[in-house]
Amino acid sequence: MFRHIDPRSPIPLYVQIANRLRVAVATGEVVPATPLPSVRQLAAEIRVNPATVVQAYRELERDGIIESRHGAGTFVRELAEPKRASERQREARRLVRALVAQASSLALTREDLDHAWKNETGERP
């Protein structure tokens, strides 16, 4: 699940971790009551400082996506469909912002992107 964490990205690692978990929960990739790796396990797996994972988990807990149970671990919470839809939209907006920024830096137009989208999705140009 965390193979897309990029230490060279300008996006802080804890934000990348939190966003990845948000998407996994919103899309059903990770179901409610699923235990998450411990802070140390996840930090070792993705090779980051444990404090980075703590920060991501705190943000997710504050947003009601996960819950920590003293002595038991950290688990995915049940999310109502409106919250899941909201998280999917949040990720979609983040992806669009990143695409627009990268396209802008390459002087690509919306028409360039529309054409590429249609080619990739099989729509008629």
Q: What is the CATH number of the domain that holds 65?
A: 1.10.10.10
Which pTM value belongs to this model? 0.73
Are 48 and 110 a contacting pair, CB within 8 Å?
no
76 located within any domain: yes
Count of domains for the chain: 1
110 located within any domain: yes
Q: Output the pLDDT for position 87.
A: 78
Dist. CA 100–CA 98, nearest whole Å: 6
98 located within any domain: yes
Are 47 and 86 a contacting pair, CB within 8 Å?
no
7 located within any domain: no
89 located within any domain: yes
5 located within any domain: no
Closest C-alpha among 10, 91, 17 to residue 47: 17
Low-confidence ranges of the chain (pLDDT < 50): none
| Residue 56: domain span | 13-121
